[in-house]
Amino acid sequence: MKKTKVAVLGATGMIGQRFVQLLEDHPYFEIGGLYASERSEGKSLGEVLKVKDVRFMQDTLDMKIELLEPKAVAKRCRAAFSGLPSDTAKEIESDLADAGVAVFSNAASHRMRPDVPLLIPEVNPDHLEMVRSQSTFSNGGYIVTNANCSTTGLALPLQAIYQKFGLRACYVSTYQAVSGAGYPGVPSLDILGNVVPFIKNEEEKMEEEIHKMLGKLDGNKVRYAEFEMIASCARVPVVDGHLESVVVKLGKEGSPEDVIKVMEKFKPEPQKLKLPTAPVQPIIVRREENRPQPAADALAGDPARARGMAVSIGRVRESKGYIKFWLLSHNTLRGGAGGSVLNAELAVAKKLL
């Protein structure tokens, strides 16, 4: 099988470099170019390295960053993975789709567009079909987005629960890692020994995106899921891994043991299709009294290629008719670059790429 050439957009940022990590030796894709703004043009990846816990191959470190110019990207690459900041992503991603490139984006710009799938292969794989209604589709260009990092981790267990029990309300408070804010991102003076109870637009994204993802595809439109979603978001002094305190009111009765069961049995399409970046067990329910924790569970997921792609759940318990649990997912892998790579793998399986 010949590998598909893909571009990495925003290759100097945290998400961009996670894309590079996941694409270094991918069975379907090969990196056709690393792109960023003029500031980094001509530098090697090694010179602008942000991610500290990965050991890239020397060849990868030596790759040069090129200036992001949509036409030039389109000439070389069939698809693009976008780790661009939302403000610049909107236009560039549209231009790329116009030029016939399949764009898999981590940016927020196009997520809520009615014809753009907000996709998590484990949650709403059928939504991928929406790309067929995009005006650029006939030329091979389209946009697929992954969800906000905090919403992503939540969407998996919530979908498992929603399908089985229905859902009346979900109250969530987040404990988010600093890598979610990119680099340089959060100043150390703001977060050392501190918690900051504010992340711009994050609560709005969480309260909005989840209803689209758990919604039903009806023709080429999504009918949004209906339940109360109340989110409060804070930044904590952790490098990687978003922890979330979740309280749900089920639609019909279910015990903690029932909820654990549906989570553990959750084996949706990516697992059936054995997509390379899909973890064998997408939701891991831990039985220890004090897990999941960022330091121990951010990189959950097997096989090695799916490290950081499993969502860890713990302390599933009941209180006054509510189910409470904690969840943890890796914000720049499952909730970022890994999500879009998995989206592209699904597109391959669906012959859209």
Residue positions annotated with a catalytic role:
149, 242
**From the list 218, 252, 253, 319, which residue makes contact with a copy of itself (rule: CB under 8 A)?**
319
**From the list 43, 50, 168, 350, which residue makes contact with a copy of itself (rule: CB under 8 A)?**
50
**From the list 6, 7, 9, 14, which residue makes contact with a copy of itself (rule: CB under 8 A)?**
14
C-beta atoms surrounding 304 within 10 Å: 6
SS3 61: helix
**Cβ-based nearer residue to a copy of itself, 231 or 344:** 231
The reply on whether position 183 binds a copy of itself by CB under 8 A is yes
Considering only 49-57, 68-76, 107-115, 263-271, which stretch makes contact with a copy of itself by CB under 8 A? 49-57
**Whole-angstrom Cα distance, residue 91 to residue 33?**
19
**Cβ-based nearer residue to a copy of itself, 26 or 286:** 286
**Whole-angstrom Cα distance, residue 105 to residue 18?**
13
Decide: 331 and 176 in contact? Cβ < 8 Å: yes
The reply on whether position 295 binds a copy of itself by CB under 8 A is yes
Site for a copy of itself in 104-123 (CB under 8 A): none
Tell the smallest beta-carbon distance from residue 332 to a copy of itself (Å).
11
**Whole-angstrom Cα distance, residue 327 to residue 141?**
35
Look at the alpha carbons of 293, 22, 271, 114 in this order and tell me if their dihedral is positive or negative.
positive
Tell the smallest beta-carbon distance from residue 209 to a copy of itself (Å).
15
Alpha carbon distances (Å) from 136 to 25, 204, 221: 30, 29, 17
Decide: 230 and 170 in contact? Cβ < 8 Å: yes
SS3 100: coil
**Whole-angstrom Cα distance, residue 52 to residue 44?**
16
Tell the smallest beta-carbon distance from residue 214 to a copy of itself (Å).
16
**Cβ-based nearer residue to a copy of itself, 217 or 296:** 296
**From the list 1, 189, 252, 257, which residue makes contact with a copy of itself (rule: CB under 8 A)?**
189
**Cβ-based nearer residue to a copy of itself, 77 or 316:** 316
The reply on whether position 171 binds a copy of itself by CB under 8 A is yes
**Cβ-based nearer residue to a copy of itself, 184 or 219:** 184
For 34-67, b where at least 16 C-beta lie within 10 A, e where not — what string? Answer: bbbeeebeeeebeebebbeeeebeeebeebebbe
Site for a copy of itself in 208-247 (CB under 8 A): 228-232, 234, 236-239, 243, 245, 247
Considering only 131-139, 153-161, 269-277, 293-301, which stretch makes contact with a copy of itself by CB under 8 A? 293-301
What is the rounded (10 degree) CA torsion for 101, 352, 345, 49?
A: 0
Alpha carbon distances (Å) from 53 to 1, 106, 286, 299: 31, 21, 25, 11
Decide: 340 and 146 in contact? Cβ < 8 Å: yes
Site for a copy of itself in 322-341 (CB under 8 A): 322, 324, 326
Residue type for position 92: I
Tell the smallest beta-carbon distance from residue 222 to a copy of itself (Å).
20
Residues lying near a copy of itself in the complex (CB under 8 A) are found at: 14, 50, 52-53, 55, 171, 173, 175, 178-179, 183-198, 203, 207, 228-232, 234, 236-239, 243, 245, 247, 289-296, 299, 314-315, 319-320, 322, 324, 326
